[in-house]
Copies of this chain bind each other. A is one copy, B any other.
Amino acid sequence: MASWTKEIQGREEQRQLKGQALLRTAARLFNETGFHQTTLEMLAQRLGVTKPTLYYYIKNKDDILFECNRLALMQAQEALEKAQAEGTTGLEKLRVLVTRYVHIVTEDFGICLILSGDQALTQENRQALRTFRTTLDHTVRVMLEEGMRDGSIAPCNPKMVTFALFGAFNWIAHWYKDDGELKPEEIAEHFLSLFENGLVPRTKS
């Protein structure tokens, strides 16, 4: 047995670790090469195994992409809950959410979620993930509305602003480089500053 993962451990544990390694590697590969360009042979090779072995851990190729997307959306879900819990005003909640969200979209699964797009998913899988996406979207809108009520956010069209926010933040997955100068925290700060203050100079208050 080639040792995919580092040390000796219980069987069930070993299996789980291998499953995770498979998904991580797959996500990386998808992000480098694209889902359709990535063959299971490539994935197997990078894991140091042969193709049929993969099927011991996964149902099929589509399932890999599905799992990667699901994992990313779970992380987003968590970020959402944390934001709801920690923030007081609408704007503060948004700040918390956004700061964590940047970490998600600069990480393997998050990048995969965004770059692959849902075109690649099967009908059922797409449907299965739809709930996550819509609640994510909906919650941000609610945060904005809350902010408008509590005065932390200026009057705006929440639907529109949500689109703009997700656009800007999701797009990070397209240009972010792990070895680049920009760290996720800095990106979050710059983006927040822009969205909070706007481009037009503010008169001293």
With A120-B34, A164-B168, A171-B170 as contacts: A198 and B201 at CB distance below 8 Å: no
Question: In the complex, which range does the number of interface residues on chain A fall in?
Answer: 35 or more
Instruction: Name A182-205 residues within 8 Å CB distance of B.
Output: 187, 190-191, 193-203, 205
Least Cβ–Cβ distance between A198 and chain B, in angstroms: 3
A154 within 8 A of B: yes
A153 within 8 A of B: yes
Are B161's CB and A167's CB within 8 A?
Answer: no
A9 within 8 A of B: no
1/0 per residue A87-98: CB within 8 Å of B? 000010010000
Taking CB atoms, residues of chain B closer than 8 Å to A152 are 200
Least Cβ–Cβ distance between A56 and chain B, in angstroms: 27
In Å, the complex CA distance between A166 and B156 comes to 21
Total identical chains? 2
Main secondary structure of the interface of A (DSSP, over half): helix
Are A171's CB and B161's CB within 8 A?
Answer: no
Taking CB atoms, residues of chain B closer than 8 Å to A1 are none
A115 within 8 A of B: yes
A147 within 8 A of B: yes
A151 within 8 A of B: yes
With A170-B167, A172-B167 as contacts: A194 and B198 at CB distance below 8 Å: yes
Could you pull out 6 A-B pairs where Cβ atoms are within 8 angstroms?
A34-B119, A36-B36, A161-B190, A164-B194, A197-B200, A198-B199
